[in-house]
Amino acid sequence: MVRHNVFFWLVPSLTDEQKTSFENGLKALFEIDVVRKGSYGTPAATPERPVTQNDFDYYLCLEFASVEDHNIYQEHPDHEVFVHNFSQWFETVKVFDTEILN
């Protein structure tokens, strides 16, 4: 299994309506056929520690059965629509893809 972890730092000037639209865009990614499971969220109000980074705006987690399914997702038209519609709102994006071993 592959877990696709994406952290988004969005431009600060987004309105609440734009943030709602972004969230709807994230949810739409869950419907892509090779996505086994999806979730998204915002930073938790956990205590600050030297190892904690919680200055991001949104987190997306998608699970795939295989690297091949992940690669299909990357080229899927609905993923392309998400990138096209929202990339102008990304200040920074960090992706951490993990192959789950247990």
8 A C-beta contact, residue 89 and residue 1: no
Domain boundaries, given as residue ranges, for the chain: 2-45+55-99
Residue 11, classed as helix, strand or coil, is: coil
Band the pLDDT of 102: cuts 50, 70, 90: confident
Please compute the mean of the pLDDT values over residues 76-93 and round it to a whole number. Answer: 97
Q: For the structural domain made of 2-45+55-99, what CATH number should be given?
A: 3.30.70.100
Q: How far is CA 88 from CA 53, 61, 67, in A?
A: 23, 21, 27
What's the confidence (pLDDT) of residue 73?
98
pTM: 0.94
